[in-house]
């Protein structure tokens, strides 16, 4: 696997030094049994491969790690800006005022979008060479100067669509496998997908309250007639009823939107502990 090349204790040399090969993947029970058997067979060689190599690698790679730390600082500070919640210019145009209460929804959900399309996308590809080829990860994301954000909605969604069907079947006895349940990771992935699709597909397509209520049509009718729609004196009884009905309807729609927005923000807050890679 690609990740193993980063750790000397996971190399082929470590397997030779240890006297027993390290599995590429195992269950927690499998790792425990492998460790116990390997350590029992060659105690000193096991320590050399598992701990001694780590100490040597830490010493040899110290300069490079310090440079990497500095590069990560620059990236976090000026590119990903992990110290702040940000909004897309589409939702809050730069230089335009928004009250604090009106910043929460776009900032929180823009961060969710970035989590899926940037962080989760890279997480899906970082250890998988085939995924890197499939989603065409650019050299700027893999190279030394990783000071650029790589965005790939398809890669992020691919990971979540895989994760949403994970079960605990591997931890069950053969006669219990039919009782397998979705893991916490799968449940979180499903909720992330729902919230992501709501923000990307449902929220932008909600009709404007003034248009849906008929208020825009009423105002346009008054404008065409050359009459001020705020002037109550020249309204006919029918027009007065039309304006009242439209305003009541627009307030009803806005109230429903606000309730939906609040519910979605609460759902997002509830899964915040799962938003990490």
The pLDDT of 11-32, averaged and rounded, is 90
User: Is 116 inside any structural domain?
Assistant: no
The C-alpha angle 91, 97, 103, rounded to 5 degrees, equals: 50
Would you state the structure tokens that stand for residue 71, as one six-digit string? 């590069």
Domain coverage including residue 255: 206-272
Give dist(CA 135, CA 197) in Å, integer. 21
User: Is 266 inside any structural domain?
Assistant: yes
User: Is 264 inside any structural domain?
Assistant: yes
Residue 195 near residue 109 (C-beta atoms within 8 A): yes
pLDDT at position 228 is 66
Pick the residue with more confidence: 24 or 55? 55
| Tens digit of each residue's pLDDT (9 = 90 or more) over 180-209 | 899 999 999 999 999 999 999 999 999 999
Residue 179 near residue 162 (C-beta atoms within 8 A): no
* Distances, alpha carbon 39 to alpha carbons 10, 20, 33, in Å: 15, 9, 10
Domain count, the chain: 1
Give dist(CA 206, CA 8) in Å, integer. 54
pLDDT at position 147 is 54
User: Is 106 inside any structural domain?
Assistant: no
Residue with tokens 């006297």: 19
User: Is 119 inside any structural domain?
Assistant: no
pTM of the model: 0.80
DSSP symbols for 150-207: ---HHHHHHHHHHHTT-BSGGGS-GGGGGG--B-HHHHHHHHHHHHHHIIIIIGGGSP
The pLDDT of 230-243, averaged and rounded, is 75
User: Is 256 inside any structural domain?
Assistant: yes
Would you state the structure tokens that stand for residue 246, as one six-digit string? 């439209």
User: Is 96 inside any structural domain?
Assistant: no
User: Is 71 inside any structural domain?
Assistant: no
- Per-residue confidence band for 142, with pLDDT thresholds at 50, 70 and 90: low
């Amino acid at each position: 696997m690609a990740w193993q090349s980063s750790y000397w204790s996971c190399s082929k040399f470590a397997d030779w030094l240890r006297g027993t090969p390290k599995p590429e993947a195992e269950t927690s029970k499998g790792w425990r049994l492998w460790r116990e058997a390997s350590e029992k067979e060659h105690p000193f060689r096991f320590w050399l491969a598992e701990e001694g190599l780590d100490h040597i690698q830490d010493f040899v790679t110290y300069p490079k790690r310090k440079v990497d730390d500095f590069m990560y600082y620059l990236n976090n500070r000026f590119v990903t800006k992990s110290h702040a919640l940000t909004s897309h210019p589409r939702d809050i145009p730069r230089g335009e005022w928004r009250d604090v209460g009106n910043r929460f929804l776009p900032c929180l959900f823009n961060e969710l979008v970035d989590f899926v399309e940037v962080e989760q996308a890279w997480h899906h590809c970082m250890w998988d060479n085939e995924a890197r080829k499939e989603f065409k990860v650019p050299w700027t994301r893999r190279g030394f100067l990783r000071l650029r954000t790589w965005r790939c909605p398809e890669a992020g969604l691919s990971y979540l669509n895989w994760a949403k069907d994970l079960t605990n079947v591997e931890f069950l006895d053969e006669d219990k496998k039919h009782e397998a349940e979705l893991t916490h990771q799968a449940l979180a992935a499903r909720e992330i997908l729902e919230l992501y699709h709501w923000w990307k597909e449902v929220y932008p397509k909600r009709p404007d309250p003034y248009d849906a209520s008929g208020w825009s049509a009423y105002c346009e009718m008054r404008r065409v007639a050359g009459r001020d729609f705020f002037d109550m004196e020249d309204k006919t009884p029918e027009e007065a009823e039309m304006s009242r009905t439209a305003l009541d309807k627009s307030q009803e729609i806005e109230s429903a939107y606000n309730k939906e927005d609040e519910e979605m923000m609460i759902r997002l807050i509830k899964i915040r502990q799962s938003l990490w890679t």
